[in-house]
Every structure is written in C-alpha cells, then in structure tokens.
A and B are shown apart, each in its own frame.
Chain A
Amino acid sequence: MFSIIFNKKSIAASSVIGLNERNIKLIYPNNPKKHYPLADDKVLTKEILHQNDIPCAKTYAVIEYNSDIKKAWESCKQYNAVAIKPANGCGGGGIKILKKNKEGDWMSSGEVITDRQVFQHMASIIMGFFSLGSHDRVLIEECIEPHPFFHEIYPQGVPDFRIITLNNTPLMGMLRMPTDRSDGKANLHQNGVGIGIDMKEGRLLEVYDGKKYSNHHPDSTFLVNGAPIPYWEEILEICISTAKAFPLNYLGIDIVIDKNKGPQIMEINVRPGLGIQLVNKTGLKEVIKEAI
C-alpha cells in the first residue's frame, strides 16, 4: 500500500528525476537563494558575462529611469538592429526586436514603429508592466542573427540550445526550435519542438514534439537525426566558463549561434525544466551517475 502511494519501486528502477527530487537534490543544495537574482535579472547576468569575457549579445544600453529613455535611444540609433527587453520579464513578454528598413525607418513585426511608440514601450517596461508590478529596467542589446545551419531545418524564429550543467559539467542538452504552430516561440509548452543532443559527438538526435519522436522537424524534410552541430566545442566551452562564472551550481544555460559571432549566451536559468529528459529519452540520474 505504502509503496504504491510513494512509487517506491519506480524510484529504485527509474533514472528519471521528478520535480521533488530536482528541488531537494539539485536546486536546494546547489543554488543558494540569495544568488537567484544573478540569473533572474538579465542585466545582472550580462554584467557577469561581460566581466568574464564570455560571448553574449553586446549590451547597448540599460535604462533605469524614464528621464533617461530619450538619451539612451538616441545613442542606439547608430545600430541597424536592436533587441529591447525587460530585465525581469517573465514568459518572453515585453521583448521587441527592432530593425531598420532601407529608408532608415525602424520596423517591428513588419510595421514601421515611431520613436514615440518606442518610448512608450520602454516606459511601460520601467513601470513594471511585464514584471508584475515591480519597477524594472530596460535592456537594449545587439540583435542576434541565427546561423544559416538552422535555416536548413526551419527558417523562421530564433532557435536556441539549452544545456544543463551540474558543478561546471555539461550534463544534457537540447535544441529548441519554433514550428508553424508555435508563433515564433521555441518553447516546448508553446508548440515548439525539442531536439535531443548527443553530447559527446555534438550531433542532433530525434525531434520530440511533446507527443512523438521523429527524424524530421514537423515542417521540413531535412534529416535532423545525426546532423553535426556547428561550433559544438565552443558551445561546451562557453557553457563551462559560464557555469564557473556564477555562484550557482545547477543551471540551465540558453545559447544561440550568431551568423557572424558564433555561440552566444542568451540567459541562464536556476530552475531548469525537466522536459529535456523526454527530448533525450534519458533520465538525468543516469547522466549524473556517468559524470561523477
């Protein structure tokens, strides 16, 4: 009776880590709560990355007060493309990608955007509209151009790698890609797909769409399974140096590959999800055992 309730048998037999075990065995002992802001606040994350010369999107400006918006935006106008983000946003809310068109006007989601609209957006970030009522900061940074490798698999949106590290060792990884149904988002919960990664060989494995596995992205015919990942060595290297740079020992590190600059750290996560085990068809416990 007790063993049914507490799933005793499956604990012994399984190498899958559930939320309870993730919290008690991985997060609580490895990630001190006082250091969470280093991962949750994108501005703080980037400060540490810059200090350690870890490649990441260049920070153009950080805006803390409404009065600084105008000056900061003037200084950013020299660039051809920028990304505007709330430092503490949740669920990707409040992120705007701005690009100049041929006439030199700023475009957002295919439409011309005026300076006034840009100011308004920044003001609502500062007022906390995207971070549940608390005051926030605006982060303006370099816009990442995805590497052509991804276009072969699926041409739209920005795909990213998620690598789990424990004590500076990369354990497991996946590539998250948008689909026709995911509205540009690469998140598994929002109809994106996850692709497993052979960490030793640096090759892609099967594509998992939340229900079934296949060798193709659902919207293309490119054979994904077995494709070598460009810059794989560099990706592992910057993961390890990122893990070393933060006082947090269990991390989910998000990485994109820029067309010109190669792998870049996007953000780090102190409570990485467990779906990555499904994508790789492997329990984390098995991988941790091998790593030690």
Chain B
Amino acid sequence: MNLKPNLKIALIIITIIALISIGFKAKPILGNYDDFNPEKVYKITYRFFFKSGDKNTTLKTYIPTTNSRQRISGEQIKNDSLLFFTKQKEKHQNIRAIWETNDTNSYHSIDYEFIFEGKAKHYKIPNTFNKLSEEYDEYLKATNDIQSNDSIINTLASGLIQNTKNDREIIKNIFDYVYEIPSAPIITLTDALTTIKQNKASCNGKSRLFVALCRNMGYPARVKGGIIVENANKRTSHAWVEVLINQTWVPFDGLNNHFAFIPANYLELYQGDKPLITHTADIQFDYSYQIDEVNHVSFLKMNSEELHKLPGFSLWNLVDKKIIPKGALNLLLLLPIGGLLVAFLRNIVGLKTFGVFLPVLIAFSLSHTGFVSGIAIFVGLIMFIGLIAYPFDKLRLLYTPKLVISLTIMVSLIVVATHFGVKNNIEWLTKLTFFPIIILTISAERFSRSTLEDGYIKAMDKLFQTLIATSISYLILSWTWLPSVLILFPEIVLLIVVLATFLGRYIGIRWIELFRFKPLFNSENKKLNF
C-alpha cells in the first residue's frame, strides 16, 4: 500500500493516540470482567406502609436469592428504629424478610432495596422422563387449592393424555390447554377447579390448574412466585409453574406463553402456592414495587458511577443520561463498523452490493424480525416487486412513476401481511415495524433500478451477493458486546478511519477476480516455469 509520507505520519499519530487512550481504560475494564453477563439489570425497591394494630404487628415477605440465571446484590433496608428486622430461612430454600413491632397504633414505612440482574433461560425437554425417587412425593400431593385428585381433573387429564406418544407431548397438551384459557385480572383466590369452571383466570388460577394436572398424571410440579420486572411502579406479582423433568425444575408460564423458558426480566422470589406478602390481620397496609432499569455493561462488574470514573473518554454519559435512546445509539455506533465490513467485502473480497450501508441496515432490520424470517420476507418482497414491475416495464412507464407504483404495492402488501399476521397469530408476519419497512423499501428500489440498468440476471446476482454481505454483517453486528465495547472505547472510530484509509489505497486483486482472471494467472505460472 503506497501512502504519501504525510498521510502515513498522520495515520500513525492517530493510531497511537487511539491506542494510548484505549490502554488507559483497558486495565480497569479487564480487571472487572464479569462472566455472568446479565441481559437486564434493575433496581427494585419494596415499599411498605402500615399502621400497627393494637398488639404485636408482623409483616412478612419473600426476598430473592441468587441462582444460575438471576443475581441479587446491593441489599439495603430502610426502616424506622421501632421495627425489628429478621431474615428467616424456610422450607424449599425460600427466604423471608420479617418486620415486627410492639409499637401499637403508629405509622411505619419500610424500603427494602436490591439490585436484580437477570438472564433468560431456555430448557430442553426430553421426549420421555426418567422415573422419580420418593423424595419428590410432596410435589404430587393434592392441596386445598390444587385439587389434583378431583374427578373433574381426572377426566380432563385423561382427555389430554389421549393421542399422545410421550411425556413431552403430554406436557405440551397441558400447557396448550392452560394457555388457551382466556386470561382475566381476577383478584380473588381462584383454585384449580374454579379455573376450569369459570374458563378464565389470572396467573394464579392458571398455575394452580397446571400444577394440578401435572400432579394428577404423576409429574412433580410446583407453583413459583415472583415479579415481572419492568421500568415501572407496580403492585402486581406473578405466578408461574415449574415441573420436575429429569432432576431439573423446568419453568412454564401458561399466561404469557413461555414453554420451558424463563425471560430475563422474571424475578424469582419463592416456590409454593403462597402469597408474597403476609401481615397481621386488620391493619391499614399499602405497598408498591418500585422498579428502575439500571444501565449496565453486560460483561462488567462495574456500576454506573464506577464507569463514569473511568480514565479518558467514554460515551457512558450518553447512555446514562439517556440523551439518545439506547437502540438508536447502538445503531449509530455500529454503522461505521458495518460500513468498514462492507468496504472490506467490496474492495478486498469483491462482492457487489446494493449501496454501502444498505447491507448493514438490512442486517439491523433482521435483528428486529429474526434472521431466517427476515431474509424470507426480504427476498419474497423483492421478488414480488420484480414480478409486478415486469408488466409496467412492458407498458413503457417512466422510471419514477413506475417506482411509485412498485413501492405503493409493496407498502400495501406489508400492511395486509401484518394485518393477516395479527389476525391469525402468525408472529413473524407482525414484526415489520417502521424501520425494517423503510430499509426494505429502499432495497426494493435499488433492486428494481438494477434490473433496468444491468438486466434481471445481473440484478439477481447482485441481490444474492448483497444477501451474503448482509448475513456476514448480521453475524458480526448481532454480537451483543459490540455496542458496549464501542461505548467504552469510542476511540475505535479513529481506528476505523485509519483502516478505511488503508482500504481506500488498496490496489490488490479482489478475491473474486482471482477466479475471474484464473486463466491469466495459470498462464503466468507457466511462463515462470519456462
């Protein structure tokens, strides 16, 4: 690569500055590496207010513990000195926080605060389950609200067993049956039988019925209690179910349609069919859960203040102050990296793509729609545009009006498809939000322009190469660490400029040209041999 001396010096200086700046931050960051990698981090505060009664007053609630998919830290308890606080370990690894007072007829408030870091977890379910030891007998017993031995449950269970081949299908049938029950925010206690009779239930009723059906068929099952955390002030807790499958408790949520899956924002608090809060009867009591999402870098053990104190320059301020929405900031930061990648694919590999940033932007849209369905939608729509453009070509319409027709038809198609998807519950059809539609529209325009300039065969070839570039961009850009790395080390942008300058002066043969000019290279080798 033949660069002018001034340019070379400038590039070297830029590289050194960037590397020094990165070096300053690298040490504290590497020292705080965290292999837990939470997807969601929230600060959760239980807030309780009550007026104590005439005698001793007690308030009990479950508090979470750390496990393989949730990490609890930063516990802080604020209560007045008249309250006596204890923690109590209970059966089934549940932990309860208990506040007691002898101070009668007085107002009290409690703030119990902790940091929750959560990960989603998928479970694989085998087709047949192993035989169980007796230690799990208690998870097969009927209770007052989980009437697993009742004849109605019996009948329902034998109906669900019919035409099933294995344990997995039975569990799936139970899940589907419970999921189909219309959900309703019912506050009063709904037991398993009532859920069947009313044919509507909240998370509690559905969970009890799910557990009752499992226990009836001999699968140990239990109710699980917790909170769906989201950036809000809320009062509702949540209940779901765990079934013991080959020594693993596998989660199922028949209300929110999570089959053998627990989302990152599910805070697990306790197991068993119990209320989250209990208190002495007949007192004035109010509560809320205050939940705030905490900005975090998934691979770092550092909190926001520690990140602010990093030496040198980082973009953490933009993230923390929410100056730019997080998604937009990520897109902004990834665009140069994606551009560099496409430049590499075009100038060194030799791929032909529609535009420079289009493969990158399509890759971003794919992160909204999912890769496979996104590619399917993309190719389908573009083929469709190609097909409908054909009769209008024959009509000899001018280019721009013809484009308007194509795009109008495409937008209508997207709207109809989304409508159809919503109506028939086909999820992947409903994912074309504003951003992917814009990108698809631009791509379709480029494609139809290319069919005119280069003909259909070349345009298809270019489309195929664009898809290859898109897939490679998607692979690299969907690496979740990348935006965080760029936020911590914005100097990388300088390195991108340096690399792009080198690419811009690159005069070597492209990889694809190695094939194109193969006969020439072969004959040259022969000449050398003579």
Contact = CB atoms under 8 A, between A and B. Distances in A.
Given A21-B507, A25-B507, A133 B514 contact: no
B510 A18 contact: yes
Contacts of A274: 513, 517
Nearest to A15: B524
B398 A127 contact: yes
Interface residues of A, number: 32
B513 A18 contact: yes
B424 interface: no
A11 B399 contact: no
Interface string A38-53: 0000000000000000
A133 B398 CA distance: 7
A174 to B, nearest CB: 14
B523 A7 contact: no
Nearest to B344: A5
B519 A20 contact: no
Contacts of A129: 396, 398-399
A10 B396 contact: no
B508 interface: yes
Interface string A252-292: 00000000000000000000001001100111000000000
A6 B505 CA distance: 12
- Interface centre among A19, A24, A124, A283, by most chain B C-beta atoms within 10 angstroms, is A19
A90 interface: yes
A8 B508 contact: yes
A281 B523 contact: yes
Nearest to A5: B348
Contacts of A7: 508-509, 511, 514
B426 interface: no
B520 A16 contact: yes
Given A91-B453, A133-B399, A133-B400, A11 B517 contact: no
Nearest to A9: B508
Contacts of A16: 509, 513, 517, 520-521, 524
A278 B510 contact: no
Contact of B519 (A13, A25, A281): A281
A19 B508 CA distance: 9
A281 B507 contact: no
Contacts of A277: 517, 520
Nearest to A127: B398
B509 A11 contact: yes
A132 interface: yes
- Interface centre among A20, A124, A128, A189, by most chain B C-beta atoms within 10 angstroms, is A20
- Interface centre among A13, A14, A127, by most chain B C-beta atoms within 10 angstroms, is A14
A160 to B, nearest CB: 20
Contact of A19 (B513, B520, B521, B523): B513
Contact of A10 (B398, B399, B452, B521): B521
Interface in A103-134: 124, 127-129, 132-133
Contacts of A278: 516-517, 519-520
A19 B510 contact: yes
Contact of B396 (A15, A19, A124): A124
Contacts of A21: 507-509
B455 interface: yes
B398 A20 contact: no
B399 A6 contact: no
A283 B508 CA distance: 14
A12 to B, nearest CB: 10
B191 to A, nearest CB: 67
A91 B508 contact: no
B510 to A, nearest CB: 5
Interface in B437-488: 449, 452-455, 458
B520 A10 contact: no
Nearest to B513: A18
Contacts of B524: 13-16, 283
B454 to A, nearest CB: 7
Contacts of A11: 507-509
Contacts of B454: 91
B347 interface: yes
B222 to A, nearest CB: 55
Contacts of B528: 13
A132 B505 contact: no
B136 interface: no
Contacts of A15: 524
Nearest to B397: A129
B82 to A, nearest CB: 70
B506 interface: yes
Interface of B: 347-348, 350, 396, 398-400, 449, 452-455, 458, 505-511, 513-514, 516-517, 519-521, 523-524, 528
25 contacts: A5-B348, A6-B506, A7-B509, A10-B509, A11-B507, A11-B509, A14-B524, A18-B507, A18-B509, A20-B506, A20-B508, A20-B509, A20-B510, A21-B507, A91-B455, A124-B396, A129-B399, A132-B449, A133-B400, A274-B517, A277-B520, A278-B517, A278-B519, A278-B520, A282-B520
The 6 A-B residue pairs with the shortest CB-CB distance, nearest first, are A133-B399, A21-B507, A18-B509, A18-B513, A7-B508, A11-B508
Given A19-B513, A25-B507, 13 more contacts: A6-B506, A10-B508, A14-B521, A16-B521, A18-B507, A20-B347, A90-B453, A91-B455, A129-B398, A129-B399, A213-B519, A277-B520, A283-B524
